[in-house]
Amino acid sequence: MSDRTDLLGFDLEGLAAWCEGLGEKRFRAVQLLQWIHQRGESDFDAMSDLARSLRAKLAVHARVGSLPVLSRHASADGTVKWLFDVGGGDAVETVFIPEDDRGTLCVSSQAGCAVGCRFCSTGHQGFSRNLTTAEIVYQLWHAQRELTAGRPDARGVTNVVMMGMGEPLQNMGALVPALRLMLDDRAYGLSRRRVTVSTSGVVPMIDRLAAECPVALAVSLHAPDDALRDHLVPLNRKYPIAELLDACRRYVPHAPRDFVTLEYCMLDGVNDSAEQAHELAGLLRGRLPCKINLIPFNPFPASGLTRSPRSRVEAFADILMRAGFVTTIRKTRGDDIDAACGQLAGDVQDRTRAHERLAAAREMPIRGPLPGRRAGDPASAFDARTPPAKGCA
């Protein structure tokens, strides 16, 4: 079985080239795409309009990949979380969030993450490897198939957010074909406005995404200045905020909407003061068309961080809205099954010694008070010796 080619790994052009290698015409690729992705079929014998000779070739040379489901949990609010075994001791999580007007699937792109954000459980687990296109697409294929099984009128997945485990823009080779499949009318037919890639700020790949497959873009900002963001999102040391915002501005003309979403996880005593809200507004004013999404932090054992009080989140949002920015507060979903934003963990065979790196980072002194923390204040939740939080944002 492992010697067979997994057809979930091909967008239309790739599948057409593969079919030509079997001596088949391009239209066979279109038929296969529709059978596999629109109908959720994995049995080649059931693909009745394919020539028997082609079905015989497919039985020998191809498969529609299957990742074992290690666990499936359903939240009281309807959120569903799957844990998929991707082999080699690695497992990744995928989350479906049903709402009145949509069904959003949060998809993973890597087993682990090498970025190492201080509040991120995936980063705390370290990094094992990139997922293949087939492994990325399988998460959508499986969810859509399960959610609509026996219910042809069921909504299923209407939106995809690449906000699961991993940094999508550090896996561009696999990500772009997966995005093209999501957008292809002969596969999932999702609008570019309904597919979002979230990044911690890999600046060169933002430009590449704009050139190759522009979809909605969300950027994990989390701080209004480089000093604090260096601590929260270590990638900022390579691509500081000014470079990141410039890349976002270059992206806007290619985006399906005329703005970029900025994600901001609200951490008690760390990045949630009124002064920091005003600083954020000043940073963005006139610089970038954007929508700001405030994310209540979802704590977990030993994170060392706590959620900002609701009153402070609302006050932060009010300052931004008064400054003219469209600002939303994300509703927490699936936290009872650890499926909320910031809680995806999976299981990763770390190849990056993340625990050692993060332990060393915790021992590094922070010089002077952080923004939003006055000299002489008691140590806040964010301290140099505080363990990193769990989750990906």
131-185 pLDDT per residue, tens:
999 999 999 999 999 999 888 778 899 999 999 999 999 999 999 999 999 999 9
Instruction: State residue 363's pLDDT score.
Output: 45
User: Measured between alpha carbons, how far is 73 from 173 in angstroms, rounded to an integer?
Assistant: 31
Helix axes of 203-212 and 172-183: crossing angle, nearest 10 degrees? 30
* DSSP structure string for 79-120: -EEEEEEEETTEEEEEEEEE-SS-EEEE---EEE-SS--TT-
* CA proximity to 166, closest of 138, 212, 127, 217: 127
How much is the average pLDDT of 334-359?
55
The confidence score (pLDDT) of residue 379 equals 37
240: its two tokens: 């500081």
pLDDT at residue 375 in the model: 37
Domain edge (last residue) among 63, 90, 107: 63
What the block records as the tokens of 311 is: 């009153």
Q: 382 pLDDT exceeds 90?
A: no
Specify if 288 maps to a domain. yes
DSSP 297: -
- 127-130 and 110-112 beta bridge pairing: antiparallel
Largest CA distance in the chain: 78
pLDDT > 70? residue 368: no
Q: How confident is the model at residue 377 (pLDDT cuts 50, 70, 90)?
A: very low
Determine, yes or no, domain membership for 393. Answer: no
User: Of 106, 113, 120, 341, which residue is the catalytic one?
Assistant: 341
* Domain assignment of residue 118, yes or no: yes
Tell me: do 241 and 329 sit in the same domain. yes
The total of structural domains in the chain comes to: 2
Query: Which H helix or E strand runs over 49?
Result: none
Name 356's Cβ contacts closer than 8 Å, sequence gap at least 6. Answer: none
- Same domain (yes/no): 53, 80: no
Q: What's the rounded Cα separation, in Å, for the pair 280 and 214?
A: 26
pLDDT at 303: 64
**52 backbone dihedrals φ, ψ, rounded to 5°:** -60, -35
Q: Is the pLDDT of residue 345 over 70?
A: no
The Cα–Cα gap between 89 and 56 comes to 34
Same domain, 51 and 133: no
The 10s digit of each residue's pLDDT in 16-33 is: 999 999 999 999 999 999
389 located within any domain: no
Pairwise CA distance, residues 2 & 383, whole Å: 48
Residue 172 and residue 57 share a domain: no
The whole-number average pLDDT for the span 84-113 is: 95
310 vs 173, 268, 302, 306, CA distance in Å?
A: 40, 10, 22, 12
How open is the CA angle 243-180-209, to the nearest 5 degrees?
A: 10
Contact 115, 233 (CB under 8 A): yes
151 and 262 together in one domain: yes
- The domain containing residue 11 runs over which residues? 5-63
Alpha helices in the chain (DSSP H): 12-21, 26-33, 52-61, 121-125, 133-148, 172-183, 203-212, 226-232, 241-251, 274-284, 310-322, 354-363
Task: Name 197's bridge partners.
Answer: 162, 217
The 10s digit of each residue's pLDDT in 37-93 is: 999 999 999 999 999 999 999 999 999 988 999 999 998 888 999 999 999 999 999
- Do 36 and 152 sit in the same domain of this protein? no
CB 116 within 8 A of CB 354: yes
| 371 is a domain residue | no
225: confidence class by pLDDT, cuts 50, 70, 90: very high
Q: Convert the pLDDT of each residue in 312-342 to its tens digit.
A: 999 999 999 999 999 999 887 545 545 445 4
Does residue 374 have a pLDDT over 60? no
> What band does 207 get if pLDDT is binned at 50, 70 and 90?
very high
pLDDT at 250 over 50: yes
Residues 265, 247 share a domain = yes
CATH code for position 190: 3.20.20.70
pLDDT, position 75: 87
Contact residues for 364 (Cβ-Cβ < 8 A; gap 6+) = 384
In the listed set 18, 40, 63, which residue is the last one of a domain according to the structure? 63
Q: Are residues 50 and 128 in the same domain?
A: no
How many residues would you count in the chain?
A: 393
In-domain check, residue 36: yes
Quick one: 136 and 223 in the same domain? yes
How would you label 123-141 residue by residue, b for 16+ Cβ within 10 Å and e otherwise?
bbbbbbbbbbbbbbbbbbb
Residues 83 and 51 in one domain: no
Average pLDDT over residues 348-368: 51
Same domain (yes/no): 87, 34: no
133 in any annotated domain? yes
Residue 280 contacts residue 263 (beta carbons within 8 Å): no
Is 106 a residue of the active site? no
Co-location of 12 and 148 in the same domain = no
pLDDT at 273: 98
Name which residue leads in pLDDT, 21 or 382: 21
- Write the pLDDT tens digit of every residue in 266-291: 999 999 999 999 999 999 999 999 99
Q: What percent of the chain has pLDDT over 70?
A: 82
Predicted confidence band at 121 (pLDDT cuts at 50, 70, 90)? confident
Question: Exactly one of 19, 24, 93, 392 is catalytic; which is it?
Answer: 93
Quick check: is 93 catalytic?
Answer: yes
Please report whether residue 35 resides in a domain. Answer: yes
Give the pLDDT band of residue 305 (cuts 50, 70, 90): confident
Predicted local confidence at residue 372, as pLDDT: 44
Task: Copy the structure tokens of residue 71.
Answer: 């666990």
Highest mean pLDDT among 67-76, 113-122, 177-186, 365-374: 177-186
d(CA 60, CA 391): 41
| Structure confidence at residue 357 (pLDDT) | 55
Q: Model confidence at 384, in pLDDT bands (50, 70, 90)?
A: very low
Question: Which tokens go with 224?
Answer: 């209004």
> Chain-wide mean pLDDT for the chain?
87
Question: Quick one: CA torsion of 3, 8, 10, 12, rounded to 10 degrees?
Answer: 140
Under DSSP, the state recorded for 283 is H
- Measured in whole angstroms, how far is the alpha carbon of residue 303 from the centre of its chain? 21
Mean pLDDT of 90-115: 94
User: Please, are residues 238 and 202 in contact by the beta-carbon 8 Å criterion?
Assistant: no
Residue 33: CATH number of its domain: 1.10.150.530
Residue that finishes a domain, picked among 22, 37, 63: 63
